[in-house]
Structure 1
């Protein structure tokens, strides 16, 4: 990272950076954050499959946002995190609606319509390509030729893997791409307009702003009734504690330390990890074309992330 970028990242960090504070986080721990993020993020698709089998998808989405919003609000209050105000608050709300309401409302509805969680993860694998285009066009982030090659290879791999899922509901696939667009636009929007926002309070605002939207949608578009409380409760607990709180805090932390394009490359890894978790946890398998696509996606990550 260049010197100016390093100074900017320090100014954007949760607490002003000093040598003593930086020493509190070991280098090995910082290096593990991307890997931990990928595994935890991928597990959300498996939990969503279980959750949408037990309750309507928008009800699951609302429950996730409401509980995570309350939990993170408590964390922010106890730790005395500064809350966004004025124009910054408006930008944080927009970011939350894009990254939460649009993304997960669409993703969970697609999964509830029968599209496997692994396939949704594969579609989400296009996120680095969209982020690269959006960040380059709107945020002025420079992308090297090697990164573009990585995007091309990774994108081709994701496309190959997704091609085998075309026999599923077309509406579900379209919804998955809508969710992808919400994540990608929200990531770039956050990077550009919410600099200086505290990770704890801003993530709480994301959920609190998105929960009412999902409540209205579940009450008007579906029958909000739980058919399996064990499956619903277990998946909701995992989604709230691990995915809603843990992964999004990690995501926001990484976005403050790195440019949006590099953080976005991590999503090339989620399809392969999701496929492995789906096979281990719920017994889902992949076709040969999907496996080849995952290999190409991993190659794209290596090309993009390599310095």
Structure 2
């Protein structure tokens, strides 16, 4: 009898790989932001990120012949970009520039799923089950444990972080409600290009836009643009087109613990027991929220 062919390993599904890649890449942004804001003012770093990433994504959109939003859809894409980009990262980078550790900013951003769930329930009609709310509680506990023990509180920086959180959550829900049909490549380019002039005016008005360490600035900017601005937001917008907003938002529960892990690997910050427990709780929370 002919031998039966060996069973091949099942292919890795993009649904599993993309969320994991998104969490790791998104978390790395906080490490790059700490390095970048040590070398230049935060709003200057934000403006540079938006300008370079916007032009790069616009070129990608043109080469790939992506359809550009027009009329009212263009307006919705601009509003989404101002919320999700200008408000979020302008506030987050200013908070980091004020001395708030990147892990603490990730902690505050980790409450994004709860805020998204509330907004999605009110404006998108998404139903949040009891199991998902349990996941929010477990994930929130993981968020708290992930970075506990080394907090350097600054009232202004904490307020700025919550402003950034509001921009991210509102932008996510707004995009899901009004800009769902915008192409990922051209839409993300519009987001950055809409936010760049705002950040440019703000850095000229409120900062002395000088770079103290060009090597660190260019290195962090390159990582933030290529990996965080282009890679993660293409992944985020792709997931928003395929998943419920609350399920996408639940991934942010993992970012504080993953940020703590990356900080240990990249800049030598010790990873304590609380961070490890937080990582496990955050993963359990995401599983509860996103499991079908």
TM-score, normalised via structure 1 length = 0.88
CA distance in 2, matches of 1:249, 1:76: 12
Give the aligned partner of residue 47 of structure 2. 62
Establish whether residue 298 from structure 1 lines up as the match of residue 283 from structure 2.
Answer: yes
Partner of 1:219: 204
Aligned residue in 2 for 1:116: 101
Q: 1:191-202 residue pairs with structure 2 within 5 A?
A: 191-202=176-187
Contact 2:80 2:172 in 1 (8 A): yes
Number of residues of Structure 1 aligned to a counterpart in Structure 2? 282
d(CA) in 2 for partners of 1:140, 1:30: 24
State whether structure 2 residue 19 is matched by structure 1 residue 34. Answer: yes
Aligned-partner Cα distance in 2 for 1:170–1:290: 24
Q: Separation in 1 of the partners of 2:146 and 2:180?
A: 36
Deviation at 1:292, TM superposition (A): 4.2
Q: CA deviation at 1:297?
A: 2.6
Q: Which sits farther off after the overlay, 284-293 or 216-225?
A: 284-293
CA RMSD in angstroms, aligned pairs only: 1.6
| Cα displacement string for residues 102-143 of structure 1 (whole angstroms, at most 9, x for unaligned residues) | 000011111111111111111111011111111011100111
Q: Would the aligned equivalents of 1:55 and 1:225 in 2 still touch at CA under 8 Å?
A: yes
Which has the higher mean CA deviation after the structures are superposed, 163-172 or 37-46?
Answer: 163-172
* Pair 1:181 & 2:159 matched: no
Match of 2:241 in 1: 256
More moved, 178-187 vs 157-166: 157-166
- Residue ranges of structure 2 left out of the alignment (5+ in a row): 1-10
Secondary structure of the structure 2 residue equivalent to 1:269: helix
Change in Cα spacing, 1:167 to 1:41, as seen in structure 2 (3 Å) is closer
Detail structure 1 runs of 4+ shifted over 6 Å in the superposition. none
Alignment of 1:146-165 (within 5 A): 146-161=131-146, 164=149
Q: Deviations over 1:60-109 (max 9, x none)?
A: 00000000000011111111111111111111000000000000001111
2-structure distance, mates of 1:239, 1:75 = 17
Give 1:291 deviation, angstroms: 4.8
1:1-307 superposed matches below 5 A = 28-161=13-146, 164=149, 167-285=152-270, 289=274, 291-307=276-292
Q: Report the 3-state secondary structure (helix = DSSP H, G, I; strand = E; otherwise coil) of the residue aligned with 2:13.
A: helix
Q: 2: distance between equivalents of 1:198 and 1:207? A: 14
